[in-house]
Structure 1
Amino acid sequence: MAFASVVAFMGIGLVDPILPAIADSLAATPTETELLFTSYLLVTGLAMLVTSWISSRIGAKATLMIGLALIIVFALASALSGSVDAIIGFRAGWGLGNALFISTALATIVGSASGGSGAAIVLYEAALGLGIAIGPLLGGLLGEVSWRGPFFGVVVLMAIAFIAVLTLLRGPAEKREPVPFSAPFKALGRPALAILAVAALFYNIGFFVLLAFSPFPLGFGAMGIGLTFFGWGVALAITSIWVAPWMMRRMSRTAIILTVLPLLAADLVAAGFVAETAPALVTFIIIGGLLLGVMNTVLTEAVMEATDLPRSVASSAYSAVRFIGGAMAPPIAALLWHAFNSTVPYLFAAASVLIATLTVFLGRKVLARIDDEPADALTEDAEAITVGDAG
């Protein structure tokens, strides 16, 4: 399951290094190319609203296998495509598969592990960080051969993951209470969850401007972009796994959010003003990764503790709203670049992050509950909501 999770999260940054190559090879504009992220993230987010309803009826293993199968089919279709419009459509199908997989992965790892829930969650976070780091690197390596290479690579790796889940994932029969279809929609009526979801929407705009737009002003080839975002992913993994828990033992969750978000906004402003200088931009991309790692972990734990709702329901509702922010960011950034210059998209991202900061600041009394719980109170039914959960 950890291996399959690494591969699934590789899909987030996999196309990063080949965005300029796809634009050149298929005569697509940067805005059209950025829709590869939009279709993927939008469908992932919307599908999150129904994944708990599906998995509560057919079981975790079946949900995982359907998700993996969909990713294989649509990644292969993307590799064989001859137009950017077709790839945009196939990435949407890929997003559906990814939603089914990542919404179930953490709970399955926790249920399968013998070392306790805490160790299992660390394993999952390590898989997430590793996948986000390796995705751009693999995309760069295979992208040097052809822009189709990373898509074929995913097909092979996901096929291995599918066989592994099919043959190796075993356990006692699942006892599940069916989740009502309306549950995630009603969950957004809870003030604390709504505040965190809105904040995450604007935070994710900053996240995906940095991830999805930066390959264009960098001006590197596929390998150069891959190495840059490998460094970004390693930085994100380090702070997500080690720094964020250390901070949560010393500060409240709201205090961390209100400290790190302004730092992220400042980093994005700095990235905007050095966007034409590649070495400086690389530096601020990697610094951004350090800050994003802290935010991902803290927001995830905050959502888990914000309400008394089942974690699967809360995470579905939160993730759906969050992914909408990620979906809208790349094409808006490309349009701003075309209309103005490479600085403006980063200023737009910084402004969005500041709106997220203001949302949490104004709602801090409603969010008091997230600071009342122990910082390490991660439970066995925690759901995968960090992609960017994603992720």
Structure 2
Amino acid sequence: MASTSQSVTSSQNANDLTLGQSSILNQPRSVWAVFFACIIAFMGLGLVDPILPAIAKQLNASQSQVTLLFTSYNAVMAVAMLITGMISSRLGIKWTLIAGIIIIAVFSALGGLSNGIWTLVSLRGGWGLGNALFVATALAAIVSLSTGGTAKAIILYEAAIGLGISVGPLLGGWLGAMSWRGPFLGVAVLMVVAFFGLLLLMPKATNQNNNKVKTSLMDPFRALKHRSLLVFGIAAALYNFGFFTLLAYAPFVMGLDEHGLGFVFLGWGILLAVTSVFMAPKLQERFGTIKSMCTMLILFALVLLAMGIWTEQQWVVIASVIIAGALLGNNNTLITTAVMNSAPVERSTASAAYSFLRFIGGAIAPYFAGRLAEIFNPSVPFITGAGFVLLAVIFIWVNTRHIQHVDQAEAGH
């Protein structure tokens, strides 16, 4: 299995090398349509983040109840990832993306009109279904439609995520200062813009690419038989404990209003976007994917540990959140690139299988962090998150022989 993975990966990287001379900006119109839709879709995550404390206050909810907004969202996304390939192989890339956007728009609008925390948590689950359809298909679409090779396509995808996450909190803070409902309704409006963008800019021909082979519901489970993909998926689930502890729980300990939280996560998102595009490829080229990934994860664990030790020092928490953006940007690009080249399966199937595992971690972590804070103290969630991130590093190290073909292919590249 390892030799098969190596040959497939080498072939993909050889293709990337051939196409690598073209500029990353030299892409077909369909790629840019998905790129801008990704920015708008990922604004949704950042838009909501600055209003978490306000939701807790205005809906008389506990911190752990509010963190369920992330739990329901990620839990539904994790399960839905298993059916995204089956749906997209029948509807085609374009209409799967559009279906995801419509679902997001409807459930975010209903969320903005809701009046209770449990209703809001349920509606966020519906939002997660739409996001699963969009996110898994968007990554596969950009990779398959790009003319610059896998590595550059993934950089574009991560850049779109970073731009969306960085701009979203600023807009969310501004809308949230008027009402906690504002960001939810704002997402619905932005999704309408993305809907028309994809409808008008993506050619019908893209549907033909996905209708050649019908993906089975069991394909993602079969893909996880490849040890390399399973290793990256489990490592990402562990790493997401730290990621979503920072994202879902840090707003509660910073002591900032909606505008302040918006600016902090703006800085976080900008560093995430810049490093994912400019720094991660250089780290990968110089040190290799696995070593660079483990270094970023260790540094991220140290940042979380600092947040746990100095939780009451506002400036430490704020600085740590912003610095974490750089580490997360690098790691996201590194691990996504590794996943796309880790196993001899369709990239959409690899993405679905990997995302299923990583979002399980993202589903458990937010509520887990809120409950730990309520049972013990506000420092414990960050220290626990750091422990899970270090566990991800140990897991990667123990299974190095199953994933080393990723670096070997890069060396040949």
Band of TM-score, shorter chain: over 0.9
- Partner Cα separation in structure 2 for residue 236 and residue 154 of structure 1: 21
Asked if 1 retains the 8 angstrom alpha-carbon contact of 2:94 and 2:204, the reply is no
- Structure number having the greater helix percentage: 2
Q: Could you tell me which residue of structure 1 aligns to residue 111 of structure 2?
A: 78
Q: Could you tell me which residue of structure 2 aligns to residue 88 of structure 1?
A: 121
Q: Deviations over 1:134-188 (max 9, x none)?
A: 1211111100000000011111111111112112221425133111210101111
Q: Counterpart of 2:103 in structure 1: which amino acid?
A: L
Q: Could you tell me which residue of structure 2 aligns to residue 157 of structure 1?
A: 190
Question: CA RMSD of the aligned region, Å?
Answer: 1.7
Q: Deviations over 1:22-56 (max 9, x none)?
A: 11111111111000000011111111111011101
Q: Could you tell me which residue of structure 1 aligns to residue 29 of structure 2?
A: none
CA deviation after TM superposition for structure 1 residue 106, in Å: 3.1
Map 1:238-249 onto structure 2 (within 5 A). Answer: 238-249=274-285
Q: Counterpart of 1:360 in structure 2: which amino acid?
A: I
Q: Could you tell me which residue of structure 2 aligns to residue 297 of structure 1?
A: 333
Q: Could you tell me which residue of structure 1 aligns to residue 264 of structure 2?
A: 228
CA deviation after TM superposition for structure 1 residue 111, in Å: 5.4
Q: Deviations over 1:103-146 (max 9, x none)?
A: 11233345556677665544332211100111211111100000
- Partner Cα separation in structure 2 for residue 329 and residue 106 of structure 1: 24
Asked if 1 retains the 8 angstrom alpha-carbon contact of 2:154 and 2:333, the reply is no
Q: Counterpart of 1:159 in structure 2: which amino acid?
A: V
Map 1:243-282 onto structure 2 (within 5 A). Answer: 243-282=279-318
CA deviation after TM superposition for structure 1 residue 259, in Å: 1.7
Equivalent pairs, count: 377
- Partner Cα separation in structure 2 for residue 195 and residue 65 of structure 1: 32
- Partner Cα separation in structure 2 for residue 48 and residue 376 of structure 1: 32
Q: Could you tell me which residue of structure 2 aligns to residue 166 of structure 1?
A: 199
TM-score by length of 1: 0.93
Q: Could you tell me which residue of structure 2 aligns to residue 142 of structure 1?
A: 175
- Partner Cα separation in structure 2 for residue 113 and residue 249 of structure 1: 21
Identity in percent: 46
Q: Could you tell me which of 332, 335, 338 is aligned with 2:371?
A: 335
Q: Deviations over 1:324-348 (max 9, x none)?
A: 1011111111111111111111000
TM-score by length of 2: 0.88
- Partner Cα separation in structure 2 for residue 99 and residue 124 of structure 1: 15
* Greater mean deviation of Cα atoms: 241-250 or 167-176: 167-176
- Partner Cα separation in structure 2 for residue 85 and residue 376 of structure 1: 53
* Greater mean deviation of Cα atoms: 262-271 or 123-132: 123-132
- Partner Cα separation in structure 1 for residue 242 and residue 268 of structure 2: 14
Q: Could you tell me which of 354, 360, 385 is aligned with 1:349?
A: 385
Map 1:1-391 onto structure 2 (within 5 A). Answer: 1-110=34-143, 120-172=153-205, 174-175=208-209, 176-374=212-410
- Secondary structure at 2:311 match in 1: coil
Q: Could you tell me which residue of structure 2 aligns to residue 382 of structure 1?
A: none
Q: Deviations over 1:200-245 (max 9, x none)?
A: 1010110010111000001111111111111111111111111110
Asked if 2 retains the 8 angstrom alpha-carbon contact of 1:36 and 1:91, the reply is yes
- Partner Cα separation in structure 2 for residue 120 and residue 363 of structure 1: 27
- Partner Cα separation in structure 1 for residue 312 and residue 111 of structure 2: 31
Asked if 1 retains the 8 angstrom alpha-carbon contact of 2:158 and 2:332, the reply is no
Q: Counterpart of 1:17 in structure 2: which amino acid?
A: P
5+ long unaligned stretches in structure 1: 378-391
- Partner Cα separation in structure 1 for residue 292 and residue 276 of structure 2: 13
- Partner Cα separation in structure 2 for residue 362 and residue 370 of structure 1: 16
- Partner Cα separation in structure 1 for residue 147 and residue 397 of structure 2: 40
* Greater mean deviation of Cα atoms: 184-193 or 205-214: 184-193
Q: Deviations over 1:277-330 (max 9, x none)?
A: 111111111111111111111111111121111111111111001001011111
- Partner Cα separation in structure 2 for residue 305 and residue 113 of structure 1: 16
Change (3 A) 1:227 1:345: same
* Greater mean deviation of Cα atoms: 160-169 or 235-244: 160-169
Asked if 2 retains the 8 angstrom alpha-carbon contact of 1:253 and 1:298, the reply is yes
CA deviation after TM superposition for structure 1 residue 376, in Å: 11
- Partner Cα separation in structure 1 for residue 158 and residue 232 of structure 2: 20
Q: Counterpart of 2:363 in structure 1: which amino acid?
A: A
Asked if 1 retains the 8 angstrom alpha-carbon contact of 2:140 and 2:348, the reply is no
Q: Counterpart of 1:184 in structure 2: which amino acid?
A: P
- Partner Cα separation in structure 2 for residue 117 and residue 201 of structure 1: 23
Asked if 1 retains the 8 angstrom alpha-carbon contact of 2:155 and 2:276, the reply is no
Asked if 1 retains the 8 angstrom alpha-carbon contact of 2:253 and 2:378, the reply is yes
